[in-house]
């Protein structure tokens, strides 16, 4: 079965599969038996039209008539793989996973399904499982650069930088003109050099990587703060991530060298690899500022887990993180009041921290955190943000934003 691949805008590799009888041959491959052949051709035509449910039913009928037919079996596996890609692109991870596994039950060497399954597992923050899926794909197609590239991402998300670099080097050897892959390789090479002298320590829910040459107990103290964030933020939001979270603590110089970002940012949670990166900026575990930064970034990780990767608009994400960090919320609210009274308050999308934290604070005060959690959960179930917002709070976004502006002008 032939495959062609292209990069998706999200950064994941999106596989576009050609079902054998649709685009891999000059004409339909004849199945055993005229009725099975007819059903197979009809199912192929429906597949080309994107009518996957109807095509599955026809393929199933064809298989009942000719259960040992290889063409029908592989066409059905190819269809389920294509369906999985469509569902993955729409963010329906569990349903996509069902289709990929169904394809692999039919054809265990269906490389497209293995790659798609690995994509799902990465987005579900299961890098070890993704390493297995991508590794099987590499075994089937040892000259497929995309399989090696994705395997590298899985190793990277797992924290094994050496294995990630090795996989990307293999991919680049097969596709030396790939500038984006070369840049990725060089960036992680810099990150690996920075972390070469770092230590690693684990707790029940976190792995920390840190420069620990001067203080033996630093890792333990950092883990204690993170475990408190797990308990405090999880209790307030009523949710907990299903997998451990890797948190990397850098010195200022190392943070810039490893990430290319100024240490003034303080830290960030990366949506693609699920890691929290912190610039210590001379802070010790006893500093409340470090606690606030960690609570803030952990809140982003928890939002990702609740929404299953379908993160809400930035004003919700940042506003909620500001609320949960227990730090800058009052300051941002006063600034929002000042701007609203002066008529200079930007829209929510343009002011995720100041206006966003005031808006999220209003949602929590009026409706309770349970409704906010409902909003996030419904996003994770596939509802659009506008629909999930209306369902959770009984109002539309435009009316809500105007109400918040009015409240801020009054100073409420």
Domains and CATH numbers, the chain: 3-187 (1.25.40.10), 199-304 (1.10.390.10), 314-410 (no CATH)
Quote the strand ranges of 108-221, DSSP E: 199-202, 206-210
With bands split at pLDDT 50, 70 and 90, how would you rate the model's confidence at 392? very high
pLDDT at 301: 95
Tell whether the model's pLDDT for residue 264 goes beyond 80.
yes
CA distance readout (Å), 111 to 1, 100, 140: 9, 10, 7
Q: Is residue 29 helix, strand or coil?
A: coil
Res 33: pLDDT: 79
b/e burial code for range 3-27 (CB count within 10 A of at least 16 → b): bebeeeeeebbbbebbbbbbeeeee
CA 358 centroid distance within chain: 27
DSSP symbols for 218-253: HHHHHHHHHHHHHHHHHHHHT---SS-EEEEEE-HH
Confidence (pLDDT) at 32: 56
Inform me whether the pLDDT recorded for 15 exceeds 50. Answer: no
- Helix H or strand E segment including 159: none
Contacts of 251 (CB under 8 A, 6+ apart): 211, 279, 280
Give dist(CA 179, CA 173) in Å, integer.
12
How far is 299 from 356, CA to CA, in rounded Å? 15
Q: Which of 84-93, 139-148, 190-199, 210-219 has the highest mean pLDDT?
A: 139-148
Q: Reduced to 3 states, what is the DSSP secondary structure of residue 210?
A: strand
Question: What pLDDT does 242 receive?
Answer: 87
Under 8 Å CB-to-CB from 138, ≥6 apart: which residues? 144, 147, 148, 151
What integer is the mean pLDDT of 39-61?
A: 94
Tokens 């912190």 sit on residue = 278
Q: Is the pLDDT of residue 245 over 90?
A: yes
> Does the pLDDT value for residue 318 go beyond 60?
yes
How crowded is residue 259: how many other Cβ atoms within 10 Å of its Cβ?
21
Task: Say whether 279 sits in a helix, a strand or coil.
Answer: strand
Contact of 15 with 112, CB cutoff 8 Å: yes
CB hemisphere CA count around 110 (13 angstroms): 31
Average the pLDDT over 16-31 and give the result: 36
Task: Give me the chain's average pLDDT, please.
Answer: 89
| Per-residue confidence band for 265, with pLDDT thresholds at 50, 70 and 90 | confident
Output the six-digit token pair for 39.
């059903």
Identity of the highest mean pLDDT range in 3-12, 14-23, 322-331: 322-331
Distance (Å, whole) CA 125 – CA 123? 5
Q: Is the pLDDT of residue 10 over 50?
A: no
pLDDT classification of 88: cutoffs 50, 70, 90: very high
pLDDT given at position 216: 66
Over residues 392-401, the mean pLDDT reads: 95
Instruction: Determine the Cα–Cα distance for residues 130 and 377; give it in Å rounded to an integer.
Output: 24
Contact 114, 85 (CB under 8 A): no
CA–CA gap between residue 378 and residue 325 (Å, rounded): 24
Cα Rg, the chain, nearest whole Å? 25
Asked whether 195 and 248 are in contact (CB, 8 A), the reply is yes
pLDDT band at 23 (very low <50, low <70, confident <90, very high): very low
* Segment 20-30 mean pLDDT: 36
């Amino acid at each position: 079965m032939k495959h062609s691949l292209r990069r998706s805008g999200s950064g994941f590799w999106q596989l576009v599969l050609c079902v054998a009888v649709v685009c891999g041959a000059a004409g339909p491959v004849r199945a055993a038996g005229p009725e099975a052949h007819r059903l197979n051709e009809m199912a192929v035509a429906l597949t080309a039209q994107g009518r996957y449910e109807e095509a599955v039913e026809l393929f199933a009928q064809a298989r009942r008539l000719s259960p040992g037919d290889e063409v029908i079996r592989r066409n059905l596996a190819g269809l389920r793989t294509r369906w999985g890609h469509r569902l993955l692109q729409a963010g329906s991870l569990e349903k996509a996973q069902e289709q990929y596994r169904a394809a692999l039950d039919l054809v265990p060497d269906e490389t497209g399904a293995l790659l798609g399954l690995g994509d799902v597992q990465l987005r579900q923050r299961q890098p070890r499982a993704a390493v297995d899926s991508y590794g099987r794909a590499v075994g089937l197609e040892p000259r497929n650069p995309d399989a090696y590239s994705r395997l590298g991402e899985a190793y990277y998300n797992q924290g094994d930088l050496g294995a990630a670099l090795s996989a990307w080097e293999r991919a680049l050897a097969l596709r030396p003109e790939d500038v984006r892959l070369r840049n990725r390789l060089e960036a992680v090479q810099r990150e690996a050099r920075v972390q070469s002298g770092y230590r690693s320590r684990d707790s029940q829910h976190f792995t920390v990587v840190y420069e620990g040459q001067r203080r033996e107990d630093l890792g333990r103290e950092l883990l204690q703060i993170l475990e408190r964030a797990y308990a405090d933020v999880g209790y307030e939001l009523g949710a907990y991530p299903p997998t451990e979270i890797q948190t990397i603590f850098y010195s200022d110089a190392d943070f810039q060298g490893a990430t290319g970002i100024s240490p003034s940012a303080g830290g960030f949670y990366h949506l693609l690899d699920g890691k929290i990166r912190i610039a210590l900026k001379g802070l010790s575990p006893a500093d409340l500022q470090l606690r606030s930064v960690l609570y803030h970034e952990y809140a982003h990780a928890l939002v990702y887990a609740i929404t299953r990767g379908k993160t809400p608009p930035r004003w919700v994400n940042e506003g909620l993180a500001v609320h949960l960090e227990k730090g800058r919320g009052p300051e941002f609210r006063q600034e929002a009041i000042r701007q609203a009274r002066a008529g200079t308050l930007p829209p929510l999308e343009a002011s995720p921290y100041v206006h966003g934290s005031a808006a999220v604070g209003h949602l929590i005060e009026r409706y309770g955190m349970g409704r906010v959690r409902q909003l996030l959960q419904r996003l994770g179930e596939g509802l659009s943000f506008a629909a999930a917002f209306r369902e959770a709070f009984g109002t539309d976004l435009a009316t809500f934003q105007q109400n918040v502006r009015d409240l801020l002008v009054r100073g409420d």
